[in-house]
Chains A and B, each alone.
Chain A
């Protein structure tokens, strides 16, 4: 029920704040990412460093985005380490606190691919495994001039393994916004 309420809140927000024409701009973000929470997973693996790239553009309502995060988990016990590749598509709304500062809450849906070091994970002998990720997060961004900006965000991920994998990621980095070309806009529309 909580995700439904969250979507309804975001939708209400989107109705109020939609200002830009759909697909009129592209915003690239390059962020460094860390896994900050600790639970049962972290008794077996130590999170290493990671990075995120995202591409966002105004949608019919709100903002749509796509991107990927890579992250490393090193073995803390007698288990294989793994690299995680989270690819996602998302939707968020932009609430302007000031002309240069915006808060952007949103939802993401994606795939969490885990590549294990020198291990066969499945019956068929494959060393990777993919699972669905549903996540919610909030970003705060500040503009430094008309094009550049800085951004920080926090995301809560539910990776649908059994048992469920719950992760908190925090990220920070640079953002650049450019107008979308006519051709690209025609493609996306």
Chain B
């Protein structure tokens, strides 16, 4: 009998496992799973475009490139609380307190699945109590392969010929080009993969341009320019990855009320692997936010080197799996204007148990004890699932020092002081310096042709490290003067979400999703931080043929309130706002596969109804946007 070509089947098996996992994950409430097909069908050209597909994530941006995002029920001011993972390894891209997913040196063509967790979850031995985004890369196929994605976009509203008449206005934002390329080679026991990314975004909205032109030196246009590269080598179960990214940026700083001209440079080396029942993840990362020369004496310099190590052992029985691990991090930081090097050491030990109790109950539990700086703390997670009814209760607790998050609020308390001519010193009222979070969520799911799921939950925050701002309009620069206060605050929140997914005939599938957050009790600053409380979407996929699809999605963004900007909005309503009305944004994408599986073309109309929309008080006005995406894939078996 002829033997099966196991080597050739390996990528197929890996893909099937991935697909099976994805299918299983998409069936879990609190997790939204997007496959590479979903991303292509929706015409996604950048990683941040994923948020346009996220049902329960509220997102805000000033220039439509860097998106502050957080699951509804968590404020974006503490967006660092949610975690970003690539293949179970945590990634920290924060700059000026914000985690911009576009800075990740990872080509979209290498992303096989994206999981958006809105409930607490354990990934790679870490409890992500405030949710997580988990990107899983595609396995390298046997032989030689090359993939690339090109994306370009143009927002409507340019003056065109009217520029030369009395009727024309200024140019508006342009998206891209976004160019991502990957080349890879792989055998049975190894792979080598290299990828490069170039991305460009022009923020030319008058609200931004007037602020930027009084500040930037020698730059014709306000633009963001990303260059990134990544290479990985796998031998057996061991992988080493190196990556570097440089973003010429106009990062909006809430503390300064302007777009700081910075270059954000990140570089990291990571090694991970397993040996028998043991595993390891080691990484070294450098992240520098360096201020470019400017007319306003703005300085937001922040340099950080981090070494991280994670060792674990995994033991599997018939009905249970246990994992024990130890994790440590050493951070060496130079925050402006503190020129002394600051050291921070973090360490934790943890144990995790996944077990089937009888036939019907599944238990996932984890406990972690940590030393953050010199302060002890703990995190705990428990999930109890009743399998026949598809009901799950998830509880997470966290009591740790601010140092454990080491986010912007923490570094401000350590003396970091971004400055501009109009900036005011940060007022520190964070006396508690400990963060305590308790969450409980109950979810139910019905798995039939018509899928239905409900999730309801409770969040209790104490000692929550929150930054609040009082922004005053500066008529000289059209910028802001901002007084920032760091406070420990407390409050309780209820949240709920529901989803319905069903086929409509042979060619059409439809989904409806809604999420709501309700602030039960809390201080004024806590209530004010929940800018948005209602999110919903309806989605229809029409596939008359497997090689051609139409994807339509209507997103409802509820009213968002920003009391911190009320004074500025009253003084200059043409530049700032403090209450953004609700909006319905409709996106439509047509996608066609050509040349077998080699070529995929998609054309997307975002904000089809051309609804003039602002997501941030100081942000640009979004109009109808047209995007083209071309994806090429070549594979050859050697």
Interface string of B535-573 (1 = CB under 8 A from A): 000000000110110000000000000000000000000
Q: Which of B133-166 contact A (CB under 8 A)?
A: 154, 156-165
Interface centre among A40, A61, A114, A132, by most B CB within 10 Å?
A132
- For the complex, is B595 an interface residue (Cβ under 8 Å from A)? yes
B505 to chain A, nearest CB (A): 13
User: Of A112, A114, A162, which is within 8 A of B169 by CB?
Assistant: A162
Q: Is the contact region of chain B dominated by helix, strand, or loop, or is it mixed?
A: loop
Using A123-B221, A132-B154 as known contacts, say yes or no to A89 and B603 having CB atoms under 8 A apart.
Answer: yes
A residues 125-147 touching B (CB-CB < 8 Å) = 125, 129-132
Q: Is B154 a contact partner of A130 (Cβ separation < 8 A)?
A: yes
Residues on the A chain within 8 Å of B165, using CB = 44, 79
CB within 8 Å for A161 and B221 given contacts A61-B544, A89-B603, A187-B595: no
Which residues of A from 45 to 62 have beta carbons under 8 Å from B?
45, 59-61
Is A111's CB under 8 angstroms from B221's CB?
Answer: no
- B interface, how many residues as a size bin? 20 to 34
List which B155-204 residues lie within 8 A (CB) of chain A.
156-165, 167-169, 171, 204
- CB–CB A60/B548 < 8 A: yes
What is the CB-to-nearest-CB distance from A69 to chain B, in angstroms, rounded to a whole number? 16
* Set A61, A82, A109: member contacting B161, Cβ < 8 A: A82
Q: How many residues of A contact B (CB 8 A)?
A: 38
Instruction: Check if A122 sits within 8 Å of B171, measured CB to CB.
Output: yes
| Residues in A neighbouring B157, C-beta threshold 8 A | 160-162
Is B594 at the interface (CB under 8 A from chain A)? yes
A129 touches B158 (CB 8 A): yes
Across the two chains, which residue of chain A brings its CB closest to B172?
A162
**Which residues from chain B contact A188 at a C-beta distance below 8 Å?**
594
Contact (Cβ within 8 A) A162 B544: no
A182 → B minimal CB distance (Å) = 14
Q: What 0/1 pattern do residues 579 to 596 of B give for CB contact below 8 A with A?
A: 000000000000000111
Least CB distance, B601 to chain A, in whole angstroms: 9
Contact A132 B160 (CB under 8 A): no
Within 8 A of B (CB), among A34-92: 40-41, 44-45, 59-61, 73, 79-80, 82, 89
Interface string of A81-123 (1 = CB under 8 A from B): 0100000010000000000000000000101101010010111
Q: Are A161 and B154 also in contact (CB < 8 A) when A60-B545, A61-B544, A109-B603 are? A: no
Chain B residues with CB under 8 Å of chain A are 154, 156-165, 167-169, 171, 204, 209, 220-221, 544-545, 547-548, 594-596, 603, 605, 610, 624, 626
Interface residues of A (CB under 8 A from B): 22, 40-41, 44-45, 59-61, 73, 79-80, 82, 89, 109, 111-112, 114, 116, 119, 121-125, 129-132, 159-163, 165, 186-189
